[in-house]
Structures are given as C-alpha cells and as structure tokens.
Amino acid sequence: EIVLTQSPGTLSLSPGERATLSCRASQSISSNYLAWYQQKPGQAPRLLIYGASSRATGIPDRFSGRGSGTDFTLTISKLEPEDFAVYYCQQYVSSPRTFGQGTKVEI
C-alpha cells in the first residue's frame, strides 16, 4: 500500500499570500497518477489537479501542481478567500487508492 504523508497539517495564511502544500509517497508513483482535491465544509471533494501537474476543468491558474516519483507539491499562488479549505492528495495508480491525511489552509 502506498502511504501518502501531507505536510504541514495546518497552514495559517492571509489572502494574497502564497500557499505551498507537500505530499510525500512511501514509494514511487508511476505515470504521475497523483491528484489533489479541495474540500470545503459540508461539500464533496473537488478535483483540482490530476497527473501531478494538470489542472482539472474550470480550475483557476493560481493552482499549480508539480513533482514526480515520491515528492509532490500543490501551490496556490495568491490565496483568495474561497481557497481556505482542506486539501488532500491521492494516488490512483495502484490499489488501494490512498489519500493523504489532508492539509487545512486557514486564515
């Protein structure tokens, strides 16, 4: 099983600041099958990034993903008020399709 470890657990920032979230895998993720999701309270997760670096449909370009192998990063270039949420990484290359424990981005 691929274990994903996200850091930090909580990120306290202000609107307009840059957020950098990390996701480290216990083994290499082939085909870069690594996704990032955003979840707000009471809502289902929303796909932001797939294939480690491709933005999903309708996702603003302030969201970017990079990385390969075991180390991945999600960057939000300038935080908007609606970006304060919990972010999860997920690998979908092998079963079980595990999630990281999440990073909360708070004001």
Partner 1 sequence: QVQLVQSGAEVKKPGASVKVSCKASGYTFTSYDINWVRQATGQGLEWMGWMNPNSGNTDYAQKFQGRVTMTRSTSISTAYMELGSLRSEDTAVYYCARRYYDSSGYSYGFDYWGQGTLVTVSS
Binding status of residue 46 toward partner 1 by CB under 8 A: yes
Q: Which stretch binds partner 1 (CB under 8 A): 20-28, 48-56, 60-68, 71-79?
A: 48-56
- For residue 97, give both structure tokens: 């399709």
Interstrand relation of 4-7 and 54-55 (parallel, antiparallel or unpaired): unpaired
Binding status of residue 45 toward partner 1 by CB under 8 A: yes
Which CA distances in Å does 79 have to 52, 83, 102? 20, 6, 18
Question: What is the total residue count of the chain?
Answer: 107
Minimal distance, residue 87 CB to partner 1, in Å = 11
- For residue 104, give both structure tokens: 């909360």
**Which residues here bind partner 1, judged by CB under 8 A?**
31, 33, 35, 37, 39, 44-47, 50-51, 54, 56-57, 88, 90, 92, 95-102
